[in-house]
Structure 1
Amino acid sequence: MKRWSGSVVVIILFSLLTLKYLIIENPLTEKSLRNILYRNSTETLKWTLQIAPNLPQNKINPSPFVVISTEQILANLTIPSNLTYVQLGLLHTWQILNPLLNFSNSLPKTIEAMQEAGFAWSILKNHIKNQNQGSLDGSGTDKKEQCPYSIREMNSSRLVFTNGNLFYLKIPCGMVLGSSLTVIGTPGGLYGSFKIELIGSSLPGEPDPPVVLHYNVRLLGDKVTEDPVIVQNTWTPTGEWGPEVRCPSIKESNSEEKVDGLEMCRDNGNRTGKGIFSEKGKNFYNITKRSLHMKMNDGERKNAFPYKQGFLTISVLRIGAEGMHMVVDGRHITSFPYRSNFEPWLIGNVRISGDIKLLSVIASGLPTTEKLGSIIDLEMLKSPQIAPHKSVDLFIGVVSTANNFKRRMAVRRTWMQYEDVRSGRVVVRFFVGLHKNGVVNEELWNEATTYGDIQILPFVDYYGLITWKTIAICIYGTDAVLASYVMKTDDDAFVRVDSILSSLKKMNITNGLLYGRINDDSGPHRDINSKWYITTEEWKEANYPPWAHGPGYVVSHDIAKIVHEQHKSGSLKMFKLEDVAMGIWVDNIKNGGVDVKYVKEDNINILGCKENYVVAHYQEPRDLHCLWEKLLETKRPLCCN
C-alpha cells in the first residue's frame, strides 16, 4: 500500500512539473496553474456548442464562395478621403499595389487575398471613422482584453451541454510562433477517439473557414488499420481534404524528414518508457523508417500508444517555425509541417470533439499588445519623421504579419535604436497585410498610427504572397524615400545596421548590386507536400538563377527602381518564393544589359546566430533584446545561445 501511495505521489509531482514546464511561460500565471489542478479535480468540462459561426462540420457540399468582379474588389479597397496626412502615410504603397490583380494567375490565392482584404478593410474603415470622430479611444486602454496573452476554460459550470458533442475555444487574435494549446482530459466512451482542430478565421459571406490542423486520435483504428493511430490533415472549402499524415505511418518514409528539427512521428511517446513500437522492450523501431507490419500482439501495440481509454492525458500543441508539434505527457509525439495558405496567424477557433472528458483547455503565448499608458519609452520608439522623397543611405523593409505585435516591439527597442536609424540616415518600415480578424486589424491600425513605421498593404497575409511585400519594399524605397540601397529582412531577424552600412561603403558598388547570402546552386522543390513546392508550370528549369536568402539581402537603388517600374507596367514575373523571385528579377535585369554584381556575405546567418553575424535569423523577442544588450556592453556581435 505504501509503495502504491508513493507511486501516486511521484506521478502527481511529475504532472505538476510537466505543466509548469510546458504550459506556463509567464510567471504571473503560476497561480492559475494551481487552479487547473485543484478546482477541476472532480468535475469535467461538459461539451458545448458555443457561438462559433461558419465553422465546418460535415465537409460535404461546402457553400460556394461569392464571386465578385475585379472592379468591385478594387472599389472595396479604395482609401477614404477623410484620412489625416499621417494616416495616409501608412498607406503609401496601398494604391500603387492595386494592379496586383493583373497577376491573379501567377501567385496562389491572389483574388481571395484581395477580396478578403476588401471585407476586412470595410470593417476597419468604420473603426477609423469612429476614431477620427472621437467616439473611440485610440489610447489602447483595453488592448490587453482584446488580445490576451492566454485564454483558459476550466470552469465547467460556465459551459452548457448541448446535443452536439463539440467544444469551442475562441482565439481572438490568432496564434504565432511560441503559442501553445494545452488539452487536459481523459479519452473514454465506447470508442475513445477524439479530434482537436485549429479552425481559421472567416469574414461575413465567406464559406466555411479552413481547418489549419485536423488532429484525429483513433484508439480503435480505422479502415486502414485496426491498431491505434493519429491522423493529421488540413481542409479547405475549395480544396477539400489534403493528403493525410498518419502516425504510425503505413508506408516507408524518409528518416531525415523533420519539422523544426523534430521527427514527424516519434517512437518514444508511450507511458511504459518503450517506443511506440517495440517488441517486449528489446528492439526499438523508428516509425519514420519502418512499416507497421511487425509481429506484435494487439495488447502490446495498444499499450504502447500515447493515448489510452480511462487515462488522464496532458496534450500540448506548440506552434513552431516550420510546423506544429504535439507533446503528450511530456514526450514529443508528432510534428505536422505547415501547408501553403494554412498559416497559424489565421487561427480563430479551437474545436474539440469526440470521446474525451475535458478538465481544462488552455491557449497560451498568444499575440498581445502593450498598453500605451505603461510604455515609458514611447517617444523613443516612435519613428523619426521623414520628409517625402528624402534621400537616405539605406531603406530597410521588414516583412511582418498583423498579429506579430511582440516581434515589432522588440525590433523597435533593439536594432531600430541604432543612431543611424534614429537620425534618419537609415529608414525602417514594417510591411504588413491585413488580417481576417477585425480585432487584429484594429490593433494593427492603432499601432501603426502610434509609431508611424508600418505600411499596411491591400491584401490578407498568406505565405505565398510575401513576394508582393518585396515589391512594396522596392516601391517605398524608391518612391516614398530615395534610398541608395534597399534591404529586405524579417521581423525575427537582428540586423547589424552599422555592419551593413560599412560593407556597402567598402564595396562602393552603386549600381547593379545584389548583396547577401547568395545561393547559386539550387533548384525547385518538387515534393507536393513541401511548403516550397514549385510546379513545372511555375518554374520549368532544373536550377534557379543566383538568389540571396530572404532573412537579409540588399539591392542597389537602380535594381529596386526597375522592379518598381516593371511592376507598374505589368511585365514583372511573379514567383511565390520572394527571395528566389528577387534573384529571377535580377537575372532578367542582367540579361537586359545591366552589369550585375553578386556580393556574398556569409555572416548573414539564416538558421540562427553565429558570432560575427551581420544578420541573425530566427530570433525571438527575448533573443533580440539579448543580442542588443551584448552589443551595447561588449561592442562585439556575440550570440546569446
Structure 2
Amino acid sequence: MALVQEKKLGYANDNSSKKAKEKQCPHFLNKMNATEPDKCDYKLRIPCGLTQGSSITIIGIPNGLLGDFRIDLTGEALPGEPDPPIILHYNVRLHGDKMTEDPVIVQNTWTIAHDWGEEDRCPPSTPDKNRKVDELDQCIKLVSKNDNRTVSPHSHGSRKSSVVLQRVKYFPFKHGSFFVATLRVGSEGIQMTVDGKHITSFANRETLEPWLVSEVRISGDLKLISVLASGLPTSEDSDLTVNLEALKAIPLSHQKPVDLFIGVFPTANNFKRRMALRRTWMQYPEVRSGTVAVRFLVGMHKNQIVNEELWNEARTYGDIQLMPFVDYYSLLTWKTLAICTFGTEVVSAKFVMKTDDDAFLRVGEVVASLSRISMTRGLLYGLINSDSQPHCT
C-alpha cells in the first residue's frame, strides 16, 4: 500500500513538474471577457516572445466618448529604465488627430534612448510613403477612400424611387461595431488584419524585433471581449523526445578533423526551428559522422525565461554556441564574424559556411561540390552579389 502511494506521489510530482515546464513557454494564451471594471487598460504577458507566424487576435467594440484605442507590444525594461520599449504602438483614432479630421491608424515605436520614432500613418500623409512589408502594403489603398454604395430602387405604388448613390469612407474600425483584429508576425514586420482583410503592415525596426515582445497592452475606449495569442515559441520536452540521442551533436575532437563547419543563425526563442533542423538535414551522414560540424550561434535574450530554456536546450543537444550579447538583427555582422572565428580557431575546419534556420541544406551536395574544388584558401562560394553593400554594422 505504501508503495502504491509512493508511486502515486511520484506520478503527481512528475505531472506537476511537466505542467510547470509547459507554463514556462506556452504555445497558446487566451482571455475571455477581458474587460475588467475600474481598469482602463488590459495586459497580457507573453512569456517567451513572438516568432514568425505568431499572432495576437483581439476581439472588441470601440465605445466610450471617442472610441479611440491603442495596442502596444512592449519589451523588457533594462535595469534602471522606468518604462519598457514599445516594439509596436498601434493607435486607432476614429476622429483623427492634429494632422487630419478623418479616421487614422498611427503605428510607431518608442524607446527611452530615442523617444518616439517616425510615424507610419494609415492612410499615409503622402502616397509615396506607402511601402511594402512582406510584399504587403503598409496601408491598403482602400482605407479612407470613398466606398460607393448603390441603394436599389424601391417601389412606391405605381412609381419607383430613383437610385441613390451614397459615398462612405472606408475605415476598418467603427464606433460601436464589433471587430476581430489579428496582429501576425512576418519575416520583415508585423501585419494587421481586421475582419479577415489585410489593413496595415509595420516593418521591424532596429533593436525592436518581435522576438523581444514580453507583453501586450490594450487601452482606450474599447470594450474588450477576447484576447488570444497563438503560435508562441515553446521548447520541446526532452523527456518526451523520441530517439533523443540521435538528435544530439557529435562532440568536437582535436583528433578528428572537420571538413566543413556550418554556423546557423537562429533567434533565441525559435525553439521549433532548431528542432526541425535537428530532425532533417542535420541527420545527413556527413553530420552524424562528425566530418561536418553544425552549431547554432545564438545571442542572449532579454527575457530570463527564454535564457533558461535556451541553456537547458544547449546542455541537452550540445549544438548551441551562446554569444555574450543580446541578440538583435543589427548585430548580424558580429555574428558572421563569430562563425568565422569559431570555424577557424575552435574547430579548425577546412571550410566555413553560414546559413539561416529557415533554410534546408543539402549537406551531401555541398560537401561533394567542395571536394571538387582545388582551391585551399581565398574561396567565397555561393550566390554572390558583388555590387551590394552591407546594411548592418
Q: Do Structure 1 and Structure 2 share a fold, with TM-score over 0.5?
A: yes
The root-mean-square deviation of aligned C-alpha atoms, in Å, is: 2.1
Aligned positions of 1:273-284 closer than 5 A: 276-278=144-146, 280=148
Bigger fraction of residues in strand: 2
Q: Which residue of the partner structure matches residue 261 of structure 1? A: 135
Distance 2:85 2:234 in 1: 23
Q: 1:200 aligns with which of 72, 75, 82?
A: 75
Q: Does 1:309 align with 2:187?
A: no
| Letter paired with 2:90 | Y
Q: CA deviation at 1:521?
A: 2.0
Aligned positions of 1:113-152 closer than 5 A: 142-152=20-30
Secondary structure at the counterpart of residue 206 of structure 1: coil
Contact 2:104-2:122 at 8 Å conserved across structures: yes
Q: Which residue of the partner structure matches residue 299 of structure 2? A: 433
Secondary structure at the counterpart of residue 140 of structure 2: coil
Contact 1:165-1:354 at 8 Å conserved across structures: yes
Q: Which residue of the partner structure matches residue 161 of structure 1? A: 37
Q: 1:176 aligns with which of 42, 51, 54?
A: 51
Contact 1:389-1:481 at 8 Å conserved across structures: no
Q: CA deviation at 1:206?
A: 3.1
Q: Which residue of the partner structure matches residue 168 of structure 2? A: 300
Contact 2:238-2:244 at 8 Å conserved across structures: yes
Q: Which residue of the partner structure matches residue 492 of structure 1? A: 358
Please, which moves more after superposition, 206-215 or 443-452? Answer: 206-215
Contact 1:143-1:370 at 8 Å conserved across structures: no
Q: CA deviation at 1:143?
A: 2.7
Contact 1:227-1:298 at 8 Å conserved across structures: no
Secondary structure at the counterpart of residue 495 of structure 1: coil
Secondary structure at the counterpart of residue 335 of structure 1: strand
Contact 2:149-2:166 at 8 Å conserved across structures: no
Query: Do the aligned partners of residues 252 and 258 (structure 1) sit closer, same or farther apart at CA in structure 2, a change above 3 Å counting?
Result: same
Q: Which residue of the partner structure matches residue 161 of structure 2? A: none
Secondary structure at the counterpart of residue 517 of structure 1: coil
What is the count of residue pairs matched by the alignment? 364
Secondary structure at the counterpart of residue 401 of structure 1: coil
Contact 1:141-1:373 at 8 Å conserved across structures: no
CA deviations over 1:276-322 (Å, ceiling 9, x no partner): 4135259xxxxxxxxxxxxxx99722xx1110011100000000000
CA deviations over 1:362-381 (Å, ceiling 9, x no partner): 11100001111211121110
Q: Which residue of the partner structure matches residue 112 of structure 2? A: 237
Q: CA deviation at 1:473?
A: 1.1
Secondary structure at the counterpart of residue 445 of structure 1: helix
Contact 1:186-1:309 at 8 Å conserved across structures: yes
Query: Do the aligned partners of residues 242 and 413 (structure 1) sit closer, same or farther apart at CA in structure 2, a change above 3 Å counting?
Result: same
CA deviations over 1:332-374 (Å, ceiling 9, x no partner): 0000111111100100100000011011001110000111121
Distance 2:266 2:356 in 1: 7
Contact 2:93-2:104 at 8 Å conserved across structures: yes
Q: Which residue of the partner structure matches residue 217 of structure 1? A: 92
Q: Does 1:331 align with 2:197?
A: yes
Q: Does 1:375 align with 2:241?
A: yes
| Letter paired with 1:193 | D
Q: Which residue of the partner structure matches residue 354 of structure 1? A: 220
| Letter paired with 2:277 | V
Secondary structure at the counterpart of residue 513 of structure 1: coil
Distance 1:431 1:370 in 2: 19
Q: Which residue of the partner structure matches residue 251 of structure 1? A: 126
Q: Which residue of the partner structure matches residue 387 of structure 2? A: 521
Give percent identity, aligned residues only. 57
Secondary structure at the counterpart of residue 350 of structure 2: strand
Query: Do the aligned partners of residues 140 and 411 (structure 1) sit closer, same or farther apart at CA in structure 2, a change above 3 Å counting?
Result: farther
| Letter paired with 2:62 | P
Distance 1:389 1:411 in 2: 27
Secondary structure at the counterpart of residue 519 of structure 1: coil
Secondary structure at the counterpart of residue 482 of structure 1: coil
Structure 2 gap segments, 5+ residues each: 1-16, 151-164
Query: Do the aligned partners of residues 258 and 160 (structure 1) sit closer, same or farther apart at CA in structure 2, a change above 3 Å counting?
Result: closer
Q: CA deviation at 1:397?
A: 0.5
Contact 1:141-1:371 at 8 Å conserved across structures: no
Distance 2:166 2:306 in 1: 49
Distance 2:309 2:247 in 1: 17
Distance 2:217 2:310 in 1: 27
| Letter paired with 2:22 | K
Structure 1 gap segments, 5+ residues each: 1-138, 269-274, 283-296, 525-531, 533-574, 577-641
Please, which moves more after superposition, 496-505 or 216-225? Answer: 496-505
Q: Which residue of the partner structure matches residue 448 of structure 1? A: 314
Secondary structure at the counterpart of residue 391 of structure 1: coil
| Letter paired with 1:200 | G
| Letter paired with 2:351 | Y
Secondary structure at the counterpart of residue 213 of structure 1: strand
Q: CA deviation at 1:155?
A: 4.5
| Letter paired with 1:267 | K
Query: Do the aligned partners of residues 221 and 481 (structure 1) sit closer, same or farther apart at CA in structure 2, a change above 3 Å counting?
Result: same
Bigger fraction of residues in helix: 1
Q: Which residue of the partner structure matches residue 63 of structure 2? A: 188
Contact 2:103-2:144 at 8 Å conserved across structures: no
| Letter paired with 1:433 | G
Q: Does 1:424 align with 2:290?
A: yes
Distance 1:278 1:363 in 2: 34
CA deviations over 1:441-470 (Å, ceiling 9, x no partner): 000000000000000110011111122211
| Letter paired with 1:504 | L
Contact 2:263-2:294 at 8 Å conserved across structures: yes
Contact 2:147-2:167 at 8 Å conserved across structures: no
Distance 2:336 2:21 in 1: 30
TM-score by length of 2: 0.88
Q: 1:413 aligns with which of 258, 261, 279?
A: 279
Query: Do the aligned partners of residues 183 and 165 (structure 1) sit closer, same or farther apart at CA in structure 2, a change above 3 Å counting?
Result: same
Q: CA deviation at 1:140?
A: 6.8
Contact 1:395-1:483 at 8 Å conserved across structures: yes
Distance 2:304 2:382 in 1: 37
CA deviations over 1:412-442 (Å, ceiling 9, x no partner): 0000000000000100000001111110000
Distance 1:250 1:203 in 2: 34
| Letter paired with 2:28 | S
Q: 1:395 aligns with which of 257, 261, 280?
A: 261
Secondary structure at the counterpart of residue 382 of structure 2: strand
Q: CA deviation at 1:161?
A: 3.4
Distance 1:143 1:393 in 2: 38
Contact 1:276-1:306 at 8 Å conserved across structures: no
Aligned positions of 1:529-540 closer than 5 A: 532=391
Contact 2:139-2:200 at 8 Å conserved across structures: yes
TM-score by length of 1: 0.55
Q: CA deviation at 1:502?
A: 1.4
Secondary structure at the counterpart of residue 245 of structure 2: helix
Distance 1:278 1:190 in 2: 25
Q: CA deviation at 1:523?
A: 4.5
| Letter paired with 1:278 | N
